[in-house]
Chain A
Amino acid sequence: MEQLHPYKADLHIHTVLSPCGDLEMSPSAIVKRALARGLDMIAITDHNTTRQIKVTQKIGRENGLFVLGGVEVTSQEETHCLCYFADDEQLDQFQIFLDAHLPPIPNDEDRFGYQLIVDEEDEIVGEEEYHLLNAIDVDIDGIYDEVHRIGGLFIPAHINKGTTSLMSQLGFVPPDLRADGLEINFRTTKAEQLKKFAYLKRFNFITDSDAHFIDNVGDVYNVVYMAHRNFDEFRKALAGEDGRYIDTEYFREHKLPRII
């Protein structure tokens, strides 16, 4: 078997493109902070848009950080679902789907915050016109189907959270849910979830910071044991294939150094 390496990965990070993302959350600042704190891999997951991913991936490539392209989609049920994609083509296909299904309601930046697309130099190069926190008009199953048709991965976000989660919106995780994994936030552990909901043991878990502010990047992270840092290796780790796996507990006893 190929040798596996432990990669520290924070897979749920918002940029300034998310209305709730802090103005400091530019792609370059996120990559810099992630590297300074010792992360090997991050995912950019703005609300209902992929439009900040490619620039972050470019900056990441140039600086030795693997950046997975993702989105935090708001389903019709108002649950947040992380979707990850392998390459530009998949991201572009999913963006077409998002553009077709996000309600065309303009963003009010005074109330909800800016939705800015920035370049490598933190210059503003565009913005999302429609409010990105709204639910798209596709339900959880429909989003799963589209993500899988394209070739991506589907992971309901922070399932233990009191708002916008499977638990809060649907009362419990549907026993027949189709997903590639489940995300929890730092307020719970996989063991605690399985103790309460034994039927979730068929899923592998991830845990992330859900950072909206630069200081929180890397506060929570996974250790992903895989041979290389790429989408397919991550997919295998999530599925527990070929000895690959994900440790969601390590960060609790091994906080990353604070960077001032």
Chain B
Amino acid sequence: MKVKDVVEALNLKVLSGAQGLDKEVEGCYVSDLLSDVMGNAEMGNIWVTLQTHKNVMAIASLKELAAVILVKGQSASDDTLEQSNEEGIPFLSTAAETFETAGKIYELLKK
């Protein structure tokens, strides 16, 4: 499964980093504590969060995550989106809440 397949299935808005949409998604991690993500997320995970601080991008890059999904209609700062474009790690947005978003991704990845 690629990032673009998740975008399509969940009808996500692509905020930035579109060149990374062909990345493989290897699992999903859900957390709003960045220290927790740094310690526990794995390479290729798609990360679901409502945290929008610019450190989100730094950690996504450090952990080589597939993409970041911001829930509840959140967006990120211009700085963050710019860095996302540079690094090709897509920032995606949904109006849905974390529970619904994670549930849908769980179903997708189970297949």
A residues in contact (CB < 8 Å) with B: 77, 139-140, 167-172, 174
Binds A, one of B5-13, B32-40, B92-100: B32-40
Number of interface residues of B (CB under 8 A): 12
Once A171-B38, A171-B58 are accepted as A-B contacts, the answer to whether A140 and B53 lie under 8 Å apart by CB is: yes
In Å, the complex CA distance between A161 and B33 comes to 13
In Å, the complex CA distance between A182 and B65 comes to 30
Chain B nearest CB: distance from A52 CB in Å? Answer: 30
Chain A nearest CB: distance from B38 CB in Å? Answer: 5
B residues in contact (CB < 8 Å) with A: 33-35, 37-38, 51-55, 58-59
Contact B54 A168 (CB under 8 A): no
Contact A171 B54 (CB under 8 A): no
In Å, the complex CA distance between A174 and B57 comes to 11
SS of B interface (majority): helix
Q: For B58, what are the chain A residues with a Cβ–Cβ distance below 8 Å?
A: 171-172
Contact B35 A77 (CB under 8 A): no
Chain B nearest CB: distance from A35 CB in Å? Answer: 39
In Å, the complex CA distance between A171 and B53 comes to 11
Contact A167 B51 (CB under 8 A): no
In the complex, what residue of chain B is closest to A171 when comparing beta carbons?
A: B34
Chain A nearest CB: distance from B89 CB in Å? Answer: 15
Q: For B55, what are the chain A residues with a Cβ–Cβ distance below 8 Å?
A: 170-172, 174
Contact A139 B53 (CB under 8 A): yes
In Å, the complex CA distance between A170 and B54 comes to 9
Chain B nearest CB: distance from A31 CB in Å? Answer: 37
Q: For A169, what are the chain B residues with a Cβ–Cβ distance below 8 Å?
A: 33-35, 51, 53
Contact B33 A174 (CB under 8 A): no
In the complex, what residue of chain B is closest to A79 when comparing beta carbons?
A: B53
In Å, the complex CA distance between A174 and B52 comes to 13
In Å, the complex CA distance between A167 and B59 comes to 12
In the complex, what residue of chain B is closest to A165 when comparing beta carbons?
A: B35
Contact B54 A77 (CB under 8 A): no
In Å, the complex CA distance between A140 and B33 comes to 15
Chain B nearest CB: distance from A195 CB in Å? Answer: 19
